Amino acid sequence: MAKYIIKRILWAIPVLLGVLIIVFTITYLTPGDPVQTILGNGYTPEKYAKKAAELGLDKGYLAQLGSYIWNVVTRFDFGKSYMTNIPVITELTTRMGTTFSIAFLSIIVTILIGIPCGIIAAIKQYSALDYGFTSFALICSAIPSFVIAPVLLVVFGVKLRWLPLSGLDEWKSYILPVFVNALGGIALLTRMTRTSMLETIRQDYIRTARAKGLRESVIIWKHAMKNTMIPVITVTGSWLAMLMGGALIVELIFSIPGLGTYLYGGISNRDYPIINGSVILTAFIVCMMSIVVDILYAVVDPRIKAQFSSGKKKKKSVQAAKEAA
């Protein structure tokens, strides 16, 4: 197990390096001259050359890429914002918590609602509840967050005045963004859990459990649950990645000072250090989450654990066989 976890963590290093290279290359290839943007109109060639040298933009692609990677890896230095001259990492660290806490709360809400709904829909297949949950899930998965968010904002913020319109000053301000984020996830998880549970409860070992006369609740929650969870964990992991990616839209609508709004500002001002920094940090968080998901996966599914311990055990069993012979 430890070997599996270490292997998984080590693999994240080349992936993140690759992400660094790709993101840097994309912004490098972007047309437009950052020096010109910073200096505005009316600069002398000397001034231009000085600024370009200061930002390291006068060097070639490889040299720029090399120093970028070096700064990020050794000092977490993503450069300074072209516009404000504030180091990108300072902003990133203060904003990361906000984005992550919303994503985390959304995932918790998603799991707490989505999984039970899916299980109920599966064990009461073709009942009114099943149809209710399934159609709710189908409809919700067709509503993008940028559609539902403004509508909820008008209803609960403007008309009813129950919830604040923007910012994150009190606990109430978390309700709408978390709900908007969770909605699609709930839809996804309900459907996934339902399908997975339906597949599981048709298997022979469930029939055996029933034949033994176990209570239905024990069968579902103890026997079927573990196998049901395997695909559900995968989907939850990929949903978290989507949430981190989609944070921009939700944060923009609710004016939340998170990674998304920071990235948005970077895009509108063509502030490349900001774009690079936020995308790379998000990819880093997604990578970490996928490691956690993979470890959870191995905890829930002994077959995966066995795959990684099999090397040693196989050798042992071969040795034992030889000794016996």
Partner 1 sequence: MFRTKKQKEELANDLVALSKKNTRTADILSRLVRNKLGMLGMIIIAILLILVIFAPVFTDYPYDAQSFPDRFINPCWEHPLGTDNFGRDLWSRMLYGGRISLLVSLVAIIISSAVGITVGAIAGFFGGRIDNVITRILDILMAIPALLMAIAVSSALGTGPMKTALAIAISGIPYSARVMRSTVLTIKDNEYIEAAQATGSTNARTIFKHVLPNTIAPLIVSATLDIGGNIMAISGLSFIGLGVQAPTPEWGSILSAGREFLRDFPPIVIFPALFIGLTLFGFNILGDALRDALDPRLKD
Q: Which residues contribute to the site for partner 1 (CB under 8 A)? A: 11, 14-16, 18-19, 22-23, 26-27, 29-31, 138-139, 141-144, 146-147, 150-151, 154, 158, 195, 199, 241-242, 244-246, 248-249, 252, 263-264, 267-268, 270, 275, 279, 282-283, 286-287, 290
Write phi, then psi, for 87 (nearest 5 degrees). -55, 135
Contact between residue 297 and residue 304 where contact means Cβ atoms under 8 Å apart: yes
Q: Cβ of residue 49: shortest distance to partner 1, in angstroms? A: 25
Q: Cβ of residue 302: shortest distance to partner 1, in angstroms? A: 23
Q: Cβ of residue 50: shortest distance to partner 1, in angstroms? A: 27
Closer to partner 1 by Cβ: residue 158 or 320: 158
> Over the range 154-189, which residues count as b (16 or more CB within 10 Å of their CB) and which as e?
eebbeeeeebbeeebeeeebbbbbbbbbbbbbbbbb
Q: Cβ of residue 161: shortest distance to partner 1, in angstroms? A: 13
Contact between residue 252 and residue 199 where contact means Cβ atoms under 8 Å apart: no
Closer to partner 1 by Cβ: residue 108 or 151: 151
Closer to partner 1 by Cβ: residue 146 or 205: 146
Q: Cβ of residue 188: shortest distance to partner 1, in angstroms? A: 11
Q: Cβ of residue 264: shortest distance to partner 1, in angstroms? A: 6
Closer to partner 1 by Cβ: residue 83 or 214: 83
- Could you give the angle at which helices 145-152 and 225-253 cross, rounded to 10 degrees? 60
Q: Cβ of residue 149: shortest distance to partner 1, in angstroms? A: 10
Q: Cβ of residue 23: shortest distance to partner 1, in angstroms? A: 6
Write out the chain in H/E/C secondary structure.
Answer: CHHHHHHHHHHHHHHHHHHHHHHHHHHHHCCCCHHHHHHCCCCCHHHHHHHHHHHCCCCCHHHHHHHHHHHHHHHCCCCECCCCCCEHHHHHHHHHHHHHHHHHHHHHHHHHHHHHHHHHHHHCCCCHHHHHHHHHHHHHCCCCHHHHHHHHHHHHHHHCCCCCCCCCCCCHHHHHHHHHHHHHHHHHHHHHHHHHHHHHCCCHHHHHHHHCCCCHHHHHHHHHHHHHHHHHHHHHHHHHHHHHHHHHHHHHHCCCCCHHHHHHHHHHCCCHHHHHHHHHHHHHHHHHHHHHHHHHHHHHCHHHHHHHHHHHHHHHHHHHHHHHC
Closer to partner 1 by Cβ: residue 25 or 84: 25
Q: Cβ of residue 318: shortest distance to partner 1, in angstroms? A: 26
Closer to partner 1 by Cβ: residue 126 or 171: 126
Closer to partner 1 by Cβ: residue 249 or 300: 249
Closer to partner 1 by Cβ: residue 245 or 257: 245
Closer to partner 1 by Cβ: residue 232 or 275: 275
